[in-house]
Amino acid sequence: MTTPPVSALAHHPSTARPSAPDQATGCGGERARFVREFLRDPVRTASLVPSSAALTARMVAGLPEHGDPVVVELGPGTGVFTGAISGRLAGRGRQLAVEVNERLADGLRPRHPDVEVLTAGAAELPTLLAERGIGRVDAIVSGLPWTVYFDGPRPLAPILAEVLAPDGVLTQFSYPWTAWTPPARRQRAQLRAAFEEVLVTRTVWRNLPPALVYVARRPRPTTARQRLAGPS
C-alpha cells in the first residue's frame, strides 16, 4: 500500500474531514453521550468529549491513499474517527471498528452501516481477524485510553504489532500533560519495543484537551519484541 511519508504525518494534518453524519459530533447530544459513558467507566473511556476535526485529521493522515486496505479502529466511541476513516477510504477496502462498550457499539451500527462494528476488547483483535479470514491489516487507528494497554494478560502493543502488515501504520492519540507520568512512559516503551519506528507529532492545540499522536511503523519480529520488552 502507498502511504504518505512519515514527515507528513508528523507535521501536516490531513485535509480529510469526517463524513457528513459525523459533522454533528460536537453537538450537545454526542457530548452528553460521551460524558455519560465516561462517568460510567472512566478507565475505558479515553475522554470526556469527542475528538476535534484537527485531531481526527492527524489520526487518519496515514491511511493508504490507493488500493483496498483493511483498516481497524479501536475504541471508536461515538464515531468521530469512524466517519473520517470512511471518508478517506471512499468505499475501498474493508473497515472494522472494535468497541468494548456495547451501548456505544449499538449507536455506531445504524450510523455507519458499511463498517463492521464488533463488540469486543482490543486484545481480542487477532481472533476477530482470523474469524473473518483477515491476516494482516494495513492501518490501526486507536482511540483507546492508555490503561487498556496494560489491563490484559498480555501487553496490547505487541498484539497490535502482530496483526499489522510490515508496511502498515498504527496511530494512537495521547495528551502532552500526561507524557511524563509513569503509565505514559510505559506505553511509549511498549510501542518502541513492538515497532522499529515510533514518531510523536506536534501538539494538536485545536482539541480539548490539546493532544498529540503516536505514529508507529515497521512492526518488529517476535523475537526482537520479546528481547526489547524484557521480562513480563
Segment 68-110, tens digit of pLDDT: 999 999 999 999 999 999 999 999 999 999 999 999 999 999 9
Instruction: Answer yes or no: are the C-beta atoms of 188 and 214 closer than 8 Å.
Output: yes
Is the residue at 163 inside a domain?
yes
Task: Give the domain CATH number at 78.
Answer: 3.40.50.150
pLDDT-based confidence at residue 151 (cuts at 50, 70, 90): confident
Q: Is the pLDDT of residue 33 over 90?
A: no
pLDDT band per the 50, 70, 90 thresholds, residue 227: low
CA distance 155 to 157: 6
* Domain assignment present for 184: yes
The pLDDT-based confidence of 149 (bands split at 50, 70, 90) is confident
Spell 49-80 as b/e; 16+ CB within 10 A means b.
bbbbbebbbbbbbbbbeeeebbbbbbbbbbbb
> What is the per-residue pLDDT for 34?
46
Which strands make up the sheet holding 164-174, listed edge to edge? 116-119, 94-99, 70-74, 137-142, 164-174, 212-219, 195-200
pLDDT tens across 178-221, in order? 888 888 899 999 999 999 999 999 999 999 899 999 999 999 99
Per-residue pLDDT tens over the stretch 49-65: 688 999 999 999 999 99
Q: What is the pLDDT of residue 222?
A: 77
pLDDT, position 23: 38
Handedness of CA 120, 131, 193, 97 (dihedral sign): negative
At 230, the pLDDT band (50, 70, 90 cuts) reads low
Within-domain flag for 2 = no
Report the predicted TM-score, pTM, of the whole model to 2 decimal places: 0.79
Residue 183 included in any domain: yes
- Total domains in the chain come to 1
Confidence of residue 177 (pLDDT cuts 50, 70, 90): confident
Q: Is 102 helix (H, G, I), strand (E, B) or coil?
A: helix
Helices (H) and strands (E) in the chain, counts: 9, 7
Grade residue 22 by pLDDT with cuts at 50, 70 and 90: very low
Strand 195-200 and strand 116-119: the pairing is unpaired
Q: Can you give the residue range of the structural domain that contains 107?
A: 9-229
Sign of CA dihedral 47, 229, 168, 92: negative
Q: Is residue 1 part of a domain?
A: no
Question: Does residue 3 sit within a domain?
Answer: no
pLDDT band at 12 (very low <50, low <70, confident <90, very high): very low
4 falls within a domain: no
71 in a domain, yes or no? yes
Give pLDDT, residue 40: 52
Compute the average pLDDT of residues 147-171.
93
Helix (H) or strand (E) holding 157: helix 156-163
Q: Would you state the pLDDT for residue 93?
A: 98
Three cell numbers, residue 140: 490501526
